[in-house]
Structure 1
Amino acid sequence: MNRVIVLTPPGRAALATIRLEGSAVKDVLEKQLLRRSGNKFRFEVLPRPVLVRFPVGDGLYEEVILRVVNSETAELHCHGNPLLVETITAKFETFGFHRETWEQWIYRTEEDAIRAAARLALADAPTWTVTSILLDQYGGSFSRMIDKVENALIEGNWQEAADILHRLLSWERVGLHLTRPYKVVLVGPPNAGKSSILNWLVGYRRAIVDPTPGTTRDFVAAATVVEGWPVELYDTAGLRPPQDELEAEAIARTRRTASDADLVLLVLDRSTEWTADYARLREAWPEAVVILNKRDLPPGPGAWCEGLYLSTRIGEDRPVLLKALSQKLVPEPPPPGEAIPFTPDQVARLKEALAAVETRNRSMAVKALQSLKLKSSPLGNP
C-alpha cells in the first residue's frame, strides 16, 4: 500500500513534514518534481536533502525540501501553512496514496503496543518529569517487567508473579496522571482568598479577585505544574448559605466538582474567627490540604485546626505550598527506570492478569499479559 502521512501536528507552523511510503513513491515523484533549475527530477537515494519544486496547481510550484530515505520512502519538508499541507497531501491521494494519521503511523511502525502508546503519549508530555517516565516505558521498562511475570508463570512461581503485578499496579495513580493532569479544586467560604491563591500558583491573573462575597459564580480552571507533575486547578464558588438560585447552583456544582477531585484545597481566612461553619467544612473534606490564608494579617480568635499558615503576599510561602501539594499528590515519586502502566487499558489488563494469578489460572494470566503488547487496533489507540 502507498501511504501519505503528515508527521507534524495540525495548525500553523514554520515547517511541516509529509512522509511518503510505498512502491509508487519513485514513479510519482519523478513525474511531479522539478529540480530548482527547472529540469526533471531523477529519483535516487541522495546523501543529503535537496531543494525541489512541487506543483500545487494552476501552473504554480512550491519549493520543498526532499529527503529520500530509501527506494520506497521519502519525506517532503514544506512551509507549515495548513492549506499548503492539505493541498500537497490531497494531491498524493489523487495518485492513489492512502492518507494515514501520524498516530496510525506510529502505531503501525512500532514493534509493540506499549512502545506505540508511550510514543503517542510523549507527543503530549507537558513536563520533563512526565517525559522521563514515558521515555523509560518507551525504552522497555514496562515490557521487561511483563516478561518477568510471564517467566515466573512458566516456572510456576505464582508468588513472584503476584508480587510484580502488585508493584506495577501500585503506580496506577501516577501512571494514569502522566497523560491526564491531577484535578485540584480550591473550596472554602467567600473571600477566603481562593482566587488569589489560584492566580498565585499559576503566576498570572487567571481568576477575578474582588472583595464582594459571591464574586466567583462559575468555575475558573487553569493548567499549571507542581514540581514536575501536571495539574489543573479549579477555583470555585464560595461556600455559604446561598443568596439566590444562581448562587445555590454554583455551590452545588462546587461540591460535585470537589467530590471527584484528586485533591481538595480547603482555604480558610485565618484573620477571621473560627466558626462552626469552618468546622463543618473541615469535616466535609477530612483529606483536604487546609490552607490558613492571610498570615500577613493579625490572626483571628478561636481554636483553629492545623494547616498551612501562609499568605499570597509573602513570596517564600509559595514554594512551601507547592511542596505540600506535590507530597500529597505523589507521596513517593517513582525512581528512574521504574516500570509504570500509563493507560487505562494497561491497568485493566494488569488487573485481569493479577486476578488470574490469584486463582492459579496460568492461561488467562498469560493471555492478559500478552494482550498488553499486542497491536490490535488499526487506529493507533491501544
Structure 2
Amino acid sequence: MFDTIAAIATPPGEGGIGIIRVSGPEALEVAQRVFRAARARDWVKEPGYRMVYGHVVDAATGEIIDEVLLSIMRAPHSYTREDVVEINAHGGWMAVSRVLEAVLKAGARLAEPGEFTRRAFLNGRIDLTQAEAVLDIIRSKTRESMDVAVSQLRGLLGARVRELREELVALQAEIEASIDFPEEVGAPAPDGLRARLERVKDEITRLVATSETGRVYREGLAVVIVGKPNVGKSSLLNALLGEERALVTDIPGTTRDVIEEVARIGGIPVRLADTAGVRETGDVVEKMGIERARRKVAEADVVLLVLDAAQGVDAGDRVAAELIGGKRRIVVVNKIDLVPEGIPEDVIRELAGEVPVVRASAKKGTNLDAVARTIGELVGRLPRGEDAPVVTNVRHRAALERAGQHISDALDGVQKSLPLDIVAIDLYGALGALGEIIGVTATEEIIDRIFETFCVGK
C-alpha cells in the first residue's frame, strides 16, 4: 500500500494557473482538511471527473490561503490509478507554495521526482516504455519528435514487444512440455522451431534498425560546420539559426572553440556546431580549437564543408576535407554574392568526391533553404512512428540486441541438434531481455534510474 503524495505539477514562475497534484489512498481526506467549498455540500461524495469551487485554508488556523478549483479523479480512473485530487490555484510561486505547504501539513508527503508516473507504472496503467515516453514528450523539440514519443505513449512499442514475448513463451512451453513429458508430448519439429525463431529474430532486427531514426528524433542530428579560416562558417551558422550567435569578422581564426546551437530543419532537431578554422598554425590556442573540431567531426552525423567561392580551393581546403574523412558530407560553396560562378564542379569532386553541392551566400541569405533541404535529403525521410514502433531509447536498443543474440544462439542450438534444454536457456535469456523493455523483468535499479530523471510533479 502506497502513502499519499503531493507536488506542484506546473512549472515555476508566474502564470494563470498553478496546479498542486495529490495522489494516494488518503488524497480525498487530505484535501478535505484544507479545502472549503463555496457552497455547503458534501463534495467528497462527488463522483470522479468533477470540479468544485472554493478556497484552500490553513487546517490549523482556518486562514484562507487562495481561491481555487478542486478536481476529483477517483481510482482507478486517474493517471496513477489511485484517488487523485488536483488543486488549481492562482499561478505564481508564492500561491502554489503556500497551497502545497498546507497540503503537506494536512498529511501528504512531498513526492519524489517521477513518483506519479512511477505509480502509474507500478499500478499497471502503463508499461515502462510508456513511462519513458512521458519524459520524451516533455523534452520534445519538434512536432515530429513529439509524434514519435506519442506513438510510444500509445503503446505501439510495448505491444510489439509483448507479441514477441508471447511467441517465445509459447515456444518455451512446448519445449518444456516435451522435456517433462517426452512420452505424451513429442519434441517440436526442428524446421517448425527454426521458422518460428527466425520470425522473432527478424522482427527484433527490424526494431533495432529503427533505433538510428529514433536517436535522431530524440537527441537531434549532429551537423558540424568545417572549413579553413574565414570562409564564412560562423556566418552560415548564424544564417541557419536566424540569429547572431557566432562572432563574425574578416580576421581569420576568430572562432577558437566549438559553438553549438539547436535548430529545426525539416522537422528534425539539428545540433549545429561551428568549429575553428582548419589550417596549419603555430598558435597553441588555435591548435586546441582545431583538435576540438576534429573530435566534433568524429561525433557528427553530417558535415558541412564550407568553401569560399572567391578564393577557390587551396591547401587549407584540402586539410579540412582530410579532417572529415568518410563522414556524410555536403559541400557549401559560400559567398556566391561575390563570385556567382563559384568553384567548378570538377574541382569540388576532386576535393570531396561525389557529394551534394549547394552554392549559397550566408551574408545575403541566398539558397539557405537549399542547404537545409539537402541536409534532410542526405539523412533521408525518417519515419515518424505513427503506425509502426520506432526505438528511441538506448536502453531499449541494448535489450533488443541482447534478445536477438539469445535467439541467434537458440537457432544455432537447433541447427546443431543440441538438447532442447540448452535451447530453452537461450529462450529464457531472450524473454528476460524483452521483459526489461516493458518493465516485466526490469530490476529496481533500472526502474530507479529511469524515474530519477523526471521532474517533481510528474
Larger mean Cα displacement after TM superposition, 199-208 or 306-315: 306-315
Aligned twin of 1:318: 368
Instruction: From 127, 132, 156, give the equivalent of 2:147.
Output: 132
Give 2:27's match in structure 1, choosing from 17, 25, 28.
25
Question: Structure 1 residue 316: deviation in Å?
Answer: 5.8
1:261-314, Cα deviation, whole Å (9 max, x unpaired): 222211111221311331232132132222121222225677521432222256
For 1:11-56, what per-residue CA distance to the aligned partner results, in whole angstroms no more than 9, with x for missing partners?
Answer: 443322112123433333333223447x798533267423322136
Q: 2:379 aligns with which of 329, 333, 339?
A: 329
Q: Compute the displacement of 1:348 (Å).
A: 0.8
Indicate which of 64, 68, 75 corresponds to 2:68. 64
Out of 340, 351, 355, the residue aligned to residue 390 of structure 2 is 340
The one-letter code sitting in structure 1 at the alignment partner of 2:45 is E
Q: Radius of gyration: which is bigger?
A: 2
Q: Are 1:304 and 2:315 matched, yes or no?
A: no
For 1:117-196, list aligned pairs within 5 A: 117-153=132-168, 154-155=170-171, 156=193, 157-196=196-235
| Corresponding residue of 2:296 | 257
Q: 2:315 aligns with which of 255, 262, 276?
A: 276
Q: For residues 176-199 of structure 1, what are the alpha-carbon distances to aligned partners after superposition, in whole Å with 9 as ceiling and x for unaligned? A: 233212222111111111111111
CA gap of 1:362–1:70, structure 2 versus 1, over 3 A, is: closer
Match of 1:357 among 381, 384, 407: 407
CA contact (8 A) 1:3 1:99 kept: yes
Q: Identify unmatched segments of 5+ residues in structure 1.
A: none
Q: 1:116 offset after TM fit, Å? A: 1.0
SS in 1 for 2:347: coil
Q: Within the alignment, does 1:203 sit opposite 2:235 as a pair? A: no
Looking at structure 2, the residues matched to 252 and 129 of structure 1 have their Cα atoms a distance apart, in angstroms, of 34
> How far apart are 1:245 and its partner, in Å?
2.2
Distance 1:123 1:344 in 2: 18
Closer, same or farther: CA 355–54 of 1 in aligned 2, 3 Å:
same
Please say which of residues 181-190 and 356-365 is displaced more in the overlay: 181-190
Work out the percentage of aligned pairs sharing the same amino acid. Answer: 25
Runs of at least 5 residues in structure 2 that lack an aligned partner in the other structure: 76-82, 172-192, 350-356, 411-425, 454-458
Q: 1:127 offset after TM fit, Å?
A: 1.3
CA distance in 2, matches of 1:116, 1:142: 12
Q: Are the equivalent residues in 2 in contact too, given 1:33–1:40 (CA < 8 A)?
A: no
SS of the residue corresponding to residue 126 of structure 1 reads: coil
Are residues 1:231 and 2:270 paired?
A: yes
Aligned 8 A contact 1:145 1:164 in 2: no
- Kindly indicate which of the two structures has a greater share of residues assigned to helix: 2
Partner Cα separation in structure 1 for residue 205 and residue 32 of structure 2: 57
Tell me, in whole angstroms, the C-alpha distance in 2 between the residues paired with 1:122 and 1:210. 40
Aligned to 1:15: 17
In the alignment, residue 348 of structure 2 is paired with which amino acid? C
Distance 1:317 1:63 in 2: 55
Q: SS state of the match for residue 324, structure 1?
A: helix
- CA change 1:336–1:31 in 2 (3 A) is closer
Instruction: Pick one of 411, 435, 444 that aligns with 1:370.
Output: 435
CA distance 1:25–1:147, change in 2 (3 Å):
closer
Contact 1:45-1:69 within 8 A present in 2 as well: no
Partner Cα separation in structure 1 for residue 203 and residue 43 of structure 2: 56
8 Å contact kept, 1:267–1:293: yes
Q: What is the root-mean-square deviation in Å for CA atoms of aligned residues?
A: 2.7
Q: 1:283 to 1:218 in 2, by over 3 A?
A: closer
Residue 334 (structure 2) pairs with residue 293 (structure 1):
yes
Q: Which stretch shows the higher mean deviation, 343-352 or 233-242? A: 233-242
Q: Which amino acid aligns with 1:291?
A: V
Aligned pair count reads 381
SS of structure 2 residue aligned to 1:51: strand
Distance of 2:142 and 2:221 partners within structure 1 = 13
- Assess if the C-alpha contact under 8 Å between 1:107 and 1:381 holds in 2: no
CA contact (8 A) 1:105 1:380 kept: no
TM superposition score normalised by structure 2:
0.76
Q: Which residue is equivalent to 1:45?
A: 46
SS in 1 for 2:69: strand
TM-aligned CA distance change 1:284 to 1:254, over 3 Å: closer
How far off its partner does 1:335 sit? 6.0
Q: Kindly tell me: are residues 194 and 301 of structure 1, through their superposed partners in 2, closer, same or farther at Cα, counting changes over 3 Å?
A: closer
Change in Cα spacing, 1:91 to 1:243, as seen in structure 2 (3 Å) is farther
SS at match of 2:331: strand
The verdict on how the C-alpha distance between 1:102 and 1:200 changes in structure 2, with shifts beyond 3 A counting, is: same
Distance of 2:359 and 2:373 partners within structure 1: 14
Distance (Å, rounded) in 2 between the aligned partners of 1:281 and 1:313: 22
Letter in 2 for 1:308: V
CA positional deviation for 1:214: 1.6
Q: For 2:152 and 2:64, how far apart are their aligned partners in 1?
A: 46
Q: Which stretch of structure 1 is more off in the superposition, 91-100 or 169-178? A: 91-100
Are 1:380 and 2:380 counterparts?
A: no
- Alignment deviations for residues 329-364 of structure 1 (CA, whole Å, 9 cap, x no partner): 345435631211111111110010011011012111
Structure 1-normalised TM-score?
0.90
Counterpart contact for 2:208–2:391, Cα < 8 Å: yes
Measure the CA separation in 1 of the matches of 2:198 and 2:16.
55
CA distance in 1, matches of 2:257, 2:34: 56
1:42–1:145 distance in 2 versus 1, CA, 3 Å: closer
1:301–1:309 Cα change, 3 Å: closer
SS in 2 for 1:308: strand
